[in-house]
Chains A and B, each alone.
Chain A
């Protein structure tokens, strides 16, 4: 059962290739010599303890944090040339939700990249923003001031903003943080739909219990890369112990 799945992925093109990526804050390495290859069309979880550098990995791939060494290739080209095929969902807590704007307006921001400098969003952009809002089930909240949305709704708005970008690769920083079971289901269904459409989705994830159910690919990270590959092959107690340091028993279904 395990081998065919792995084979299927090996035949696919490489969506993201990271070589020798090293990030340090004040001489203390946060990420150490990361080599990582992510095949196209996987739904991948990045797991690891607090301070393992999961968010930093995403941010340095996206050039938000400057690494001290290493390179990132998106479909065999440097990231800077491939921004248009990459979308980012930041942590919900990274922005001020009391900002004077509406849900629709935030989702529209997803179109700004393709618009480029100065050009204003028009009817076409509004239409795709409304479609994205509908996809995440937030259409009826489009005119809400964003501070009047619940945590789960805010997360959906962030997701919708990334969907509008219509990218090939999605990086998401803890999209399940602080959301209820209904929202979690809704979000994972959207992620699985993205995968079905051939997109690559990379998610910083904290809940180890749900990894086998939600994801087909996983990367264990704790400053160094511990392991990466299909969930069925590598999501085991051995790797969990190596990553979290303690004997971390997780029951794996199936």
Chain B
């Protein structure tokens, strides 16, 4: 199936429409909440939470003995939350830093989850097949009820975010100060963290435990490059996330059903790469261009001020001088002389140069205007 066929199918084919809608919503909510995680410098928390959710899925299956995805997600939610609060407990009650706590919980829960998965696979239960899809995700298993659930959670999340926007913003920026204003910072904090856990758990079926944190971080990291406003950043991250979902699904469906989760994550990574390079204010490309321009300008100014020092000792400032006296030490090149002439700061005749009135004025005020 090629991409045009895919586009026509999205509107007619039930399965494809469900998957596309699901990944789009998932991308949007992850981008939104990922912005908060990134700004709180809790980027790795998402990774720990998603890995911590695995044993919950396995235990839920063991208890229920069936693969009802809502029950499994509930298990994931509970174990994800337990993991999160253990991480907090470790960082606040011991001397360990948060990266250590994250790594510890991540590997402990993931190891336990894998242990349970292999145990389940050895059981004589026909239902067990496919539980490992939660490792790397399988968007194809999304059904309409899953998409409804995602939609409802996203809606609630959006509502809460709009309601508590001011509180979220100030907590992200300055938690201590927020407390002195009389806000219950613990409550705001738990609200944000719970939503991040929810978004991660929702994504497990589609993107999987291992890659889930990229869904959270990539759109937010890309969005940060384009704006200096929190609102626009959250909005852009949602757009980038949703686009990654849709494009990823399209690419995977039109190429022999490549695994959707990894493709979505790779598309999100392309957004990040593009943003890092091409963002006007923070991007590498424009920074390099600005850097070069500044260097060239400085170069010209240096030559110009050297000329000025020579010219000001003469009564006639336009008195011609030999180019040779501007030796290489002062860094002139043919190009920089041409560029100075082009700007009408100097005249060049043969191998002599002379300063114009304009160039003299410019050189005299070179440092005044910068002050």
Which A residues form the contact surface with B (CB < 8 A)?
A: 26, 59, 62-64, 83-84, 86-88, 90, 94-96, 99-102, 106, 109, 112-113, 115, 117-121, 145, 161
Task: Compute how far the CA of A145 lies from the CA of B183 in the bound complex, rounded to whole angstroms.
Answer: 25
Indicate whether A96 sits within 8 Å of B41 (C-beta atoms), given known contacts A90-B174, A101-B229, A112-B170: yes
Beta-carbon contact of A94 and B174 below 8 Å: yes
Chain A residue nearest to B182 (CB atoms) is A83
A-B contact pairs, 17 of them (CB 8 A): A26-B95, A63-B180, A83-B180, A83-B182, A96-B41, A99-B39, A100-B230, A100-B232, A106-B173, A112-B181, A113-B182, A117-B183, A119-B166, A120-B165, A120-B166, A145-B228, A161-B177
Beta-carbon contact of B182 and A90 below 8 Å: no
Beta-carbon contact of A101 and B166 below 8 Å: no
- CB of B169 within 8 Å of the partner chain: yes
Complex contacts, B178 vs chain A, CB 8 Å: 112
Beta-carbon contact of B180 and A117 below 8 Å: no
Complex contacts, B69 vs chain A, CB 8 Å: none
Contact of B227 among A96, A100, A161 (CB under 8 A): A100
Which 3 A-B pairs rank lowest in CB-CB distance, beginning with the nearest? A113-B181, A145-B228, A88-B180
Beta-carbon contact of B183 and A100 below 8 Å: no
Return B85 CB to nearest CB of chain A, in Å.
Answer: 19
Complex contacts, A119 vs chain B, CB 8 Å: 166
Interface hits, B28-61 → A, CB 8 Å: 39, 41
Indicate whether A88 sits within 8 Å of B177 (C-beta atoms), given known contacts A96-B41, A102-B228, A117-B183: yes
Beta-carbon contact of B166 and A100 below 8 Å: no
Main secondary structure of the interface of B (DSSP, over half): helix
Task: Compute how far the CA of A102 lies from the CA of B228 in the bound complex, rounded to whole angstroms.
Answer: 8
Task: Compute how far the CA of A67 lies from the CA of B180 in the bound complex, rounded to whole angstroms.
Answer: 15
| Most interface-central of A62, A112, A115 (chain B CB within 10 A) | A112
Interface hits, B144-203 → A, CB 8 Å: 163-167, 169-170, 172-174, 176-183
Task: Compute how far the CA of A87 lies from the CA of B228 in the bound complex, rounded to whole angstroms.
Answer: 27
Q: Mark B220-253, 1 if CB is under 8 A from A, else 0.
A: 0000100111101100000000000000000000
Indicate whether A99 sits within 8 Å of B183 (C-beta atoms), given known contacts A118-B163, A120-B166, A121-B166: no
Indicate whether A100 sits within 8 Å of B176 (C-beta atoms), given known contacts A112-B166, A115-B166, A118-B163: no
Task: Compute how far the CA of A96 lies from the CA of B40 in the bound complex, rounded to whole angstroms.
Answer: 9
Return A148 CB to nearest CB of chain B, in Å.
Answer: 9
Complex contacts, A86 vs chain B, CB 8 Å: 180
Beta-carbon contact of A90 and B228 below 8 Å: no
Beta-carbon contact of B167 and A117 below 8 Å: yes
Task: Compute how far the CA of A109 lies from the CA of B171 in the bound complex, rounded to whole angstroms.
Answer: 10
Complex contacts, B224 vs chain A, CB 8 Å: 100
Beta-carbon contact of A118 and B164 below 8 Å: yes
Return A95 CB to nearest CB of chain B, in Å.
Answer: 5
Contact of A99 among B173, B181, B232 (CB under 8 A): B173
Contact of B228 among A94, A101, A113 (CB under 8 A): A101
Beta-carbon contact of A84 and B177 below 8 Å: no
Task: Compute how far the CA of A99 lies from the CA of B181 in the bound complex, rounded to whole angstroms.
Answer: 20
Complex contacts, B169 vs chain A, CB 8 Å: 101, 109
Return A56 CB to nearest CB of chain B, in Å.
Answer: 12
Return B175 CB to nearest CB of chain A, in Å.
Answer: 9
| Most interface-central of B39, B165, B177, B228 (chain A CB within 10 A) | B177
Task: Compute how far the CA of A220 lies from the CA of B76 in the bound complex, rounded to whole angstroms.
Answer: 54
Task: Compute how far the CA of A64 lies from the CA of B175 in the bound complex, rounded to whole angstroms.
Answer: 9
Return B43 CB to nearest CB of chain A, in Å.
Answer: 13
Complex contacts, A83 vs chain B, CB 8 Å: 180-182
Task: Compute how far the CA of A101 lies from the CA of B166 in the bound complex, rounded to whole angstroms.
Answer: 12
Beta-carbon contact of A100 and B180 below 8 Å: no
Given contacts A96-B41, A113-B181, 11 further A-B contacts (CB under 8 A): A62-B180, A95-B173, A99-B173, A100-B39, A100-B228, A100-B229, A101-B229, A109-B170, A112-B178, A118-B163, A121-B166
Return A97 CB to nearest CB of chain B, in Å.
Answer: 10
Complex contacts, B183 vs chain A, CB 8 Å: 112-113, 117
Chain B residue nearest to A119 (CB atoms) is B166
Beta-carbon contact of A64 and B180 below 8 Å: yes
Return A252 CB to nearest CB of chain B, in Å.
Answer: 34
Complex contacts, B181 vs chain A, CB 8 Å: 83, 112-113
| Most interface-central of B164, B170, B176, B229 (chain A CB within 10 A) | B176
Task: Compute how far the CA of A102 lies from the CA of B229 in the bound complex, rounded to whole angstroms.
Answer: 8
Complex contacts, B174 vs chain A, CB 8 Å: 90, 94-95, 109
Task: Compute how far the CA of A59 lies from the CA of B39 in the bound complex, rounded to whole angstroms.
Answer: 24
Chain A residue nearest to B230 (CB atoms) is A100
Beta-carbon contact of B227 and A64 below 8 Å: no
Task: Compute how far the CA of A161 lies from the CA of B180 in the bound complex, rounded to whole angstroms.
Answer: 13
Interface hits, B75-106 → A, CB 8 Å: 95
Beta-carbon contact of B229 and A59 below 8 Å: no
Complex contacts, A117 vs chain B, CB 8 Å: 164, 167, 183
Indicate whether A94 sits within 8 Å of B176 (C-beta atoms), given known contacts A83-B182, A100-B227, A101-B228: yes
Chain A residue nearest to B179 (CB atoms) is A64
Beta-carbon contact of A90 and B176 below 8 Å: yes
Complex contacts, B95 vs chain A, CB 8 Å: 26
